[in-house]
Chains A and B, each alone.
Chain A
Amino acid sequence: MSRTETLKSLEIVLESFLERAVRLREDRIRVLDGINRLDDIARGFRGAENAARPDLTDRIGHWFAEHQGWLDDPKLRPAERNRIQQMLGEIGTTIESSGDTTPAVQKIASEIDRWRRPAATAPSAETAPGTGRKIILRRSPESAEPAKSEEPEADSITLFFDALRKVTNRFRDSIRSSKHLMSVLDDNLKAAQLQRNPDALLLSAVIIYHLKQRGYLVEPFVKRLKEAEQLQKETASRA
């Protein structure tokens, strides 16, 4: 393997690692995005003249509408909840001191109050609404032997469905950095060959078939696909 090939292989491994690391943190990034936007709005309120406030009132209105699910969201960490309440508190103080009493501002002020109420007053995720009783989830003990399916076809359907889901996720990640389907195909053929990634191989095959149906010349890609498949078979037989 030449030096450039080694570097390209390392590049694919590192990109793949970062892709997976970010995918695992998607939920956290979404939360950070919401907090960051609220922070921008709070800063805007602090520095804005009265004339600029209607726009900020609109923005925070949208923020509330978009994040209303967060009030009962168990994914939100206590520190993040505190941060949000602190920012809303700052916005509330600025609104109060401005003396603005338009209906829109009053609505925002009451929404801020609702968000800043202690979480204890909201029904807990573990408590059935209206009953005060706790819901306890139980499952059977884990066994060393995987449970055998009564219907063998169901297993193949599940496996195929899982494969489709993985390939779809991979495609979604690939199109973030590629503008054309050919580039996505090229990246995945490289990953199938250098990383021996079976999902990349399957995705490449699907793309090639899709392109073939639309009259593209796919022979060079089919050749690379077969080479990658052969490499993966060899690696699997050595393992």
Chain B
Amino acid sequence: MLNSSEKAYYLALQALRFKHYDKALNYFHAAAGHFQDNREFQILYETTRLLVAVKEEIAAAGNSEATAEPEEVLIDGAQIDFS
């Protein structure tokens, strides 16, 4: 029988195939203990971890840009008409 770490590694690869990076990272976390000396595993794991972190940063930057815009046009709760 396959152990749970082997199954998790396989599922991580499948998730990468379909570009479900969050899911892949969760599976990699689950398999990490069993494959800590496997170089190929470590490269894929660390790259996925970095990619998910980068995506989170991009999303956070996008959100801060989206929330910054209304602050410029709202003074004392009233919207200024610049036209």
Chain A residues packing against B (C-beta within 8 Å)? 3-4, 7-8, 10-11, 14-15, 17-19, 21-22, 25, 29, 32-33, 35-36, 39, 42-43, 83, 87, 90, 176-177
Contact A39:B19 (CB < 8 A) given known A7-B57, A14-B51, A32-B13: no
- Whose C-beta in chain A lies nearest to the C-beta of B17? A22
Contact with A along B27-58 (1 / 0, CB 8 A): 00000000000000001100110110011011
Q: Is the interface of A mostly helix, strand, loop or mixed?
A: helix
Contact with A along B47-79 (1 / 0, CB 8 A): 110110011011001100000000000000000
When the two chains form their complex, are residues B1 and A3 in contact, meaning their CB atoms are under 8 A apart? no
Q: Is the interface of B mostly helix, strand, loop or mixed?
A: helix
Of the A-B pairs whose beta carbons lie under 8 Å apart in the complex, a sample of 15, sorted by A's number, is A4-B61, A4-B62, A7-B54, A11-B54, A14-B50, A14-B51, A18-B16, A22-B16, A33-B14, A36-B2, A39-B2, A43-B1, A90-B1, A177-B18, A177-B19
Contact A36:B58 (CB < 8 A) given known A42-B1, A176-B17: no
Q: Which of the residues B2, B7, B17, B54 comes within 8 Å of A14, measured between beta carbons?
A: B54
**A7 / chain B contacts, CB cutoff of 8 Å:** 54, 57-58, 61
**Min distance, Cβ B79 to any Cβ of chain A, angstroms:** 27
**Min distance, Cβ B10 to any Cβ of chain A, angstroms:** 5
When the two chains form their complex, are residues B61 and A33 in contact, meaning their CB atoms are under 8 A apart? no
For the complex, give the distance between the alpha carbons of A18 and B14 in Å: 12
- Whose C-beta in chain B lies nearest to the C-beta of A86? B1
Q: Which of the residues B2, B47, B48, B58 comes within 8 Å of A35, measured between beta carbons?
A: B2
For the complex, give the distance between the alpha carbons of A90 and B42 in Å: 32
**B51 / chain A contacts, CB cutoff of 8 Å:** 11, 14-15, 18
For the complex, give the distance between the alpha carbons of A29 and B13 in Å: 7
When the two chains form their complex, are residues A18 and B48 in contact, meaning their CB atoms are under 8 A apart? yes
When the two chains form their complex, are residues B1 and A25 in contact, meaning their CB atoms are under 8 A apart? no
Contact A176:B13 (CB < 8 A) given known A11-B54, A39-B7, A87-B1: no
**B21 / chain A contacts, CB cutoff of 8 Å:** 18
When the two chains form their complex, are residues B17 and A29 in contact, meaning their CB atoms are under 8 A apart? yes
**B13 / chain A contacts, CB cutoff of 8 Å:** 22, 25, 29, 32
When the two chains form their complex, are residues A15 and B50 in contact, meaning their CB atoms are under 8 A apart? no
